[in-house]
Amino acid sequence: MSEPATIATSRLSAQLLGLEHSADVEGVVQRLLAIQAQDERAFRLAVRARSSGLDVAAVDEALSSQRTLVVSWLCRGTLHLVGADDYWWLHQLTSVRGLTGNATRLRQLGVSEKQTEAAIEVILGEVALRPSTRKELAAALEDAGLPVAGQALVHLLNAASLRAHLVRGPMRDRDHCFVDAEQWLKRPPAALGQEELLARLARRYLTGHGPASAQDLAVFGGVTLGDARRGFDAIAADTLDLGNGIVHLRGQSLTDVPPPPRLLGMFDPVLHGWADRSFVLGTYPGVVTSNGMFRATALVGGRVVGTWSIPSGVVTLQTPRALARRVREELGRQAHDVLRFLGLAPADLLVVEDS
């Protein structure tokens, strides 16, 4: 059962891209553990591709009135959408590795340690009064005579998330507001020991990404390879060794059935979960651009066959090969669902075959 095709299709099934869907937003995020979230439309579309009947309002409600999801700098030092309960232990595990890089970057920007500490105090003071937008926090820092120009603001916000518990929580119209997780969420649980943290990371990672290797976990979580191996070792009794360092959780099914055609958004989790993306990208070029963008893709037979965008409200697919009518029809239904999910007017899929 360790053939490459079975590993690939089983990973996609674990990602909820097969026949199994989640009934709610929290179920998607719970399965995937952490969804890259620097692009707000992108993390919402990641939820759409793995659920049925939801819309952007459901994601916003989970962030706002339900308080079941937050966004913060976690795995790989990048913004991620996570469950409220998972935020605490992920922050404990990942924040330490981000501190040095954040401090170095602030020094490079000419922001002193004294200014950083003062900025964190201002930021936490503002969000203690009310959920605050990035623009509002920038104004408060400027009023306090602290630097916000260029990249200074984002790295000060990052510092507050690493050293304290600043997170993005509720939506206010189109603005995503910052809050203090210690006020916004339930009381934080007791801190875990390092071995328990690594075991939890390994188990939860395999749930949404297995079969996978320790190297895959290290890339996804932004942890060292040694720590990833320690995590896998801690749950060895609950895993199956498929060979070549690849393991799978016992009781979680393996499949050789490819998923139905899917339209995946930018920065989709399927492109961030493993050390090697070739099992889903194949030789398809241009998905990852030179400036680090991950383009929205069309997945057919478990492989990327094109990229898409929504110019003028029309889902437009660019592909280098002719698609079968059945595939076009299914991608057309996907396109209609993308527009429905985003609250845009329905329109037929436009397919542009590259010459």
pLDDT by residue (tens digit) across 192-244? 999 999 999 999 999 999 999 999 999 999 999 999 999 999 999 999 999 99
Q: Residue 213 forms beta bridges with which residues?
A: 246
Q: Residue 186 forms beta bridges with which residues?
A: none
Q: Are residues 69 and 161 in the same domain?
A: yes
Question: Average pLDDT for residues 85-103, to the nearest whole number?
Answer: 96
- Tokens representing residue 7 in the block: 């590993």
pLDDT by residue (tens digit) across 312-340? 999 999 999 899 999 999 999 999 999 99
Question: Average pLDDT for residues 152-158, to the nearest whole number?
Answer: 98
- Tokens representing residue 249 in the block: 């959780």
pLDDT at 291: 85
**355: confidence class by pLDDT, cuts 50, 70, 90:** low
Q: Token pair 């232990």 is at which residue?
A: 89
pLDDT at 248: 97
Task: Give dist(CA 241, CA 239) in Å, integer.
Answer: 7
The answer to whether 224 and 265 are in contact (CB under 8 A) is: no
Q: Residue 113 forms beta bridges with which residues?
A: none
Which alpha helices (H) appear in 65-193, and where do they start and end? 84-108, 113-129, 134-143, 152-163, 181-184
How many C-beta atoms surround the C-beta of residue 209 within 10 A? Answer: 23
- Tokens representing residue 12 in the block: 């996609």
Residue 209 falls inside a structural domain:
no
pLDDT at 2: 52
Task: Give dist(CA 325, CA 40) in Å, integer.
Answer: 32
- Tokens representing residue 250 in the block: 């016992």
φ, ψ of residue 192 to 5 degrees: the values are -100, 160
pLDDT at 1: 43
Residue 76 falls inside a structural domain:
yes
Residue 113 falls inside a structural domain:
yes
pLDDT at 108: 97
Q: Is the peptide bond before 211 cis (omega within 30 degrees of 0)?
A: yes
Q: Are residues 25 and 139 in the same domain?
A: yes
Question: Average pLDDT for residues 297-308, to the nearest whole number?
Answer: 97
Return the half-sphere exposure (C-beta side, CA atoms, 13 A cut-off) of residue 301. Answer: 9
Residue 192 falls inside a structural domain:
no
* Number of domains within the chain: 2
Query: Is the model's pLDDT at 354 over the cut of 90?
Result: no
Q: Are residues 170 and 27 in the same domain?
A: yes
The answer to whether 79 and 72 are in contact (CB under 8 A) is: yes
Q: Which residue has better confidence, 3 or 155? A: 155
Residue 322 falls inside a structural domain:
yes
Task: Give dist(CA 212, CA 247) in Å, integer.
Answer: 6
Task: Give dist(CA 219, CA 29) in Å, integer.
Answer: 19
Q: Are residues 171 and 271 in the same domain?
A: no
**187: confidence class by pLDDT, cuts 50, 70, 90:** confident
Among residues 184, 212, 239, the one where a domain terminates is 184
Q: Are residues 34 and 138 in the same domain?
A: yes
For residue 76, what is the DSSP state?
G
Q: Residue 300 forms beta bridges with which residues?
A: 303
pLDDT by residue (tens digit) across 270-289? 999 999 999 999 989 989 98
pLDDT by residue (tens digit) across 1-44? 457 889 999 999 999 999 999 999 999 999 999 999 999 999 99
Residue 230 falls inside a structural domain:
no
Residue 247 falls inside a structural domain:
no
Query: Is the model's pLDDT at 106 over the cut of 70?
Result: yes
Closest by alpha carbon to 199, among 180, 219, 174, 223? Answer: 223
Query: Is the model's pLDDT at 64 over the cut of 80?
Result: yes
What percentage of the chain has pLDDT greater than the value 90? 94
Domain interval for residue 117 = 19-184
Among residues 135, 156, 184, the one where a domain terminates is 184
Task: Give dist(CA 92, CA 165) in Å, integer.
Answer: 10
For residue 210, what is the DSSP state?
-
**107: confidence class by pLDDT, cuts 50, 70, 90:** very high
Among residues 152, 167, 184, the one where a domain terminates is 184
